[in-house]
Amino acid sequence: MSAGRPALRMGPAELVQAAAMARRFYLEGKSKIQIAEEFGVSRFKVARVLETALERDLVRIEIRVPAELDAERSDALRARYGLRHAVVVESPAEGADESPDPENLGEVAADLLGELVVEGDVLGLAWGRSTIHMAAALDRLPPCTVVQLTGVYDAGTAERGSVEAVRRAAQVSGGEAHPIYAPMLLPDPATAAALRSQTGIARAFDYFDKVTVAAVSIGSWEAGISTVHDMLTDEERSHYASLGVEAEMSAHLFDAEGRRVGRDLGERCITVEADRLRRIPEVVAIAGGQRKGAAIGAVLRSGLVTSLVTDTAAADFLLHDFAPGPRPALERKDPDGE
């Protein structure tokens, strides 16, 4: 309808016909051609009537998602970073800047896994508070095998639960569970290598190349927000900080450009290798909070993540204060070989 043109009044017959056509089209799913045949008019007339029904407010189209989901940010984040799936949930009303990984991220991630996993998949779970929350919230999964991707982090806190998370997911799916009963970080590479050769751990590692969907967490390089950071000595933290560490995921360290640094640390860890992680078809990262924004961005730049569940605080940072970069080489070549 052109600007300034007065709206033509619709008579009762026109209103009834427009309502009937709208009902056929929007509620019953009939095509414009089918509606035209039923009412004895052209499909162009049907199109005009449907357009008029929208203009006259006879039909209202609403796109509604649950209140905790932000569809606009989700779509913008997916497009900006080339993700397969991006789901943004509302940050807590208070403390959004201080509380990384709100528990509702795990609940939404659990629903997402229920969509992504199909019968016969191999689901890999890496240690992380958000993945533990996710596993606790799982209420549906098709039959699949569940394998643990990292060793456990035991700091004498209530945050433990990676083995329990694997068992919980397997219980929900009715599939096999392959947990790893070993620490994530060992004192030296030799001890780590010896543990990897043990039967139960080796069996779990054999499944790494078969994983089709993985759920991982992301930590920024600071106390309380990075598992690895908290397990290291002050001297070791300073050393890796000097390499420019911005983020940690599954015991792998990344600089701001998304390149992996500190390869020597990986030799001491029980975890899925970065190149194996890159070959997994679907890697869902679960991380949120403004304090984790730069870390999430660094991992997205690495190209190891295909989908993301986050919150509005982190999403706003990623959309306005951070920019995707070209996918780097997985390893950064440091002068000292680290």
- The answer to whether 282 and 84 are in contact (CB under 8 A) is yes
Show the domain range for 182.
69-331
Tell me, rounded to whole angstroms, the distance of Cα 122 from its chain centroid: 17
- The answer to whether 187 and 217 are in contact (CB under 8 A) is no
CA separation for the pair 308, 276 (Å, rounded): 19
Residue 38, token pair as written in the block:
């039923």
Residue 6 counted as domain residue: no
Mean pLDDT of 152-180: 79
Statement to judge: residues 122 and 159 lie in one domain: yes
Residue 235 counted as domain residue: yes
CATH number at residue 43: 1.10.10
Statement to judge: residues 123 and 203 lie in one domain: yes
pLDDT at site 330: 54
Residue 39 counted as domain residue: yes
CA separation for the pair 184, 53 (Å, rounded): 62
CATH number at residue 291: 3.40.50.1360
Give the global pTM: 0.77
* Segment 44-62, tens digit of pLDDT: 999 999 998 888 888 887 6
Statement to judge: residues 160 and 298 lie in one domain: yes
Statement to judge: residues 21 and 132 lie in one domain: no
Statement to judge: residues 294 and 206 lie in one domain: yes
pLDDT at site 158: 37
Residue 234 counted as domain residue: yes
Statement to judge: residues 32 and 156 lie in one domain: no
Residue 217 counted as domain residue: yes
* Segment 313-336, tens digit of pLDDT: 999 999 998 877 766 655 555 544
Residue 64 counted as domain residue: no
* Segment 204-256, tens digit of pLDDT: 999 999 999 999 999 988 877 777 888 888 898 899 889 999 999 999 999 99
Q: Which residues, at least 6 apart from 221, have a Cβ–Cβ distance to it below 8 Å?
A: 229, 240, 241, 245, 246, 247, 248, 253, 295
**How many domains are there within the chain?**
2
CA separation for the pair 333, 338 (Å, rounded): 7
pLDDT at site 148: 95
Residue 175 counted as domain residue: yes
Statement to judge: residues 89 and 160 lie in one domain: yes
Residue 5 counted as domain residue: no
Statement to judge: residues 97 and 246 lie in one domain: yes
Statement to judge: residues 32 and 107 lie in one domain: no
Statement to judge: residues 207 and 263 lie in one domain: yes
List the single range of 25-34, 302-311, 326-335 with lowest mean pLDDT. 326-335
Statement to judge: residues 205 and 308 lie in one domain: yes
Statement to judge: residues 28 and 177 lie in one domain: no
